[in-house]
Amino acid sequence: MEWLANPEIWVAFLTLTALEIVLGIDNIIFISILVARLPAEQQPRARFFGLALAMGTRILLLLSITWVMQLTNDLFHVMGQGISGRDLILFFGGLFLLFKSTLEIWHSMEGAEQGDTATNAKARGFMSIIIQIAIIDIVFSLDSVITAVGLVQNVPVMVAAIVISVGVMMLAAGTISAFIDKHPSLKMLALSFLVVVGTVLIAEAFDVHVPKGYVYFAMAFSLAVEALNIKLRGALARKTPDA
């Protein structure tokens, strides 16, 4: 138990926990948008299972870290470009994220979402949503685990950081989902962010590295502007007398 008194371990744990929470933002957004198409009584359970799957996936990948690191080895070459298992997962995961985000944007633009949410939710089913969450969890978890291994070499510390970060996300997911549902403009912003994330994943598959900080800064700036717009619309609504 000497490692508990080691300040370096605690610094690594806190740093990794914060990083896992930040890297999990896009996961929360994706889950929130997907479960919104389920009946209201099923949404909390779907969010819980979705994030529990994310935690389980990351821990399993950590425990098979030797295999995960082998995914960075080239499997074949295309026009002189080495393609690894990680590249394939990022490429197809990015395509899946682009497809789902674009489809949700189309539903929102066509106004189909309000009219057929209940019907579509029953047709798709609870397990269908969970399977889609599981697919994207693998993609998000892969990069998260590789990043964690680069920061910390202690597996118990990495597992503890993942458990704590997912616990925080579980607490925040309901509030985030409700806020996105309440403000349609925020939902469109979130979907646009997922389109960007999907594009970045595809770029990463071809070794075009886009610093994640730029993406998250752009999202944070857009969110701040939209928050001001929401407050402005609220203030104008209060000032406008009822017809």
Instruction: Check whether 224 has a pLDDT greater than 70.
Output: yes
127-161 pLDDT, tens per residue? 888 888 888 888 877 767 776 666 666 778 888 88
Cα three-residue angle 23-200-32, rounded to 5 degrees = 50
> Which has the closest alpha carbon to 116: 180, 33, 38, 29?
38
By C-alpha distance, which of 129, 146, 172 is closest to 84?
Answer: 146
pTM for the predicted model, two decimal places = 0.74
The model's pLDDT over 74-133, given as tens digits with 9 standing for 90+, comes to 888 777 778 888 888 888 888 988 998 888 888 777 765 444 444 454 545 778 888 888
Q: How many CB atoms lie within 10 A of CB 177?
A: 22
Gyration radius of the chain over CA positions: 20
Can you give the residue ranges of every domain in the chain?
2-239
pLDDT surpassing 60 at residue 41: yes
